[in-house]
Amino acid sequence: MTVYFLGGGNMAAAIIAGMVRHGGYAIHVVGRNAAKQQQLAERYGVAISSTLPALNADDVLVLAVKPQDMQAATAGIDTGGALVLSVAAGLTTATLSRWLGGSTRIIRIMPNTPGQVGMGMAGLYAPAHISAADKAFTETLMRTTGQVLWLPEEDDMHRIVGICGSGPAYVFYLLNALQQAAQAQGFDAAEARRLSLATFNGAVALAAAADTDFAQLQQNVTSKGGTTHEAIETFRQHHVAEAIAEGVAACVARSRALGLQFAADTQEVR
Binding-site positions for NADP(+) read: 6-11, 64-67
Diameter over CA atoms, the chain: 68
Contact 182, 195 (CB under 8 A): yes
- Phi, psi values for residue 85, rounded to 5°: -115, 125
Binding site, annotated residues? 6-11, 64-67
Helix (H) or strand (E) holding 138: helix 132-143
Helix (H) or strand (E) holding 194: helix 189-209
Residue type, 51: T
| Beta strand 3-6 pairing with 83-86 | unpaired
CA angle 100, 17, 148 (to 5 degrees): 70
What sign does the dihedral 157-200-15-121 (CA atoms) show? Answer: negative
Helix (H) or strand (E) holding 246: helix 240-261
Helices and strands: H and E segment counts in the chain? 11, 8
Q: How far apart are CA 155 and CA 153, in angstroms?
A: 5
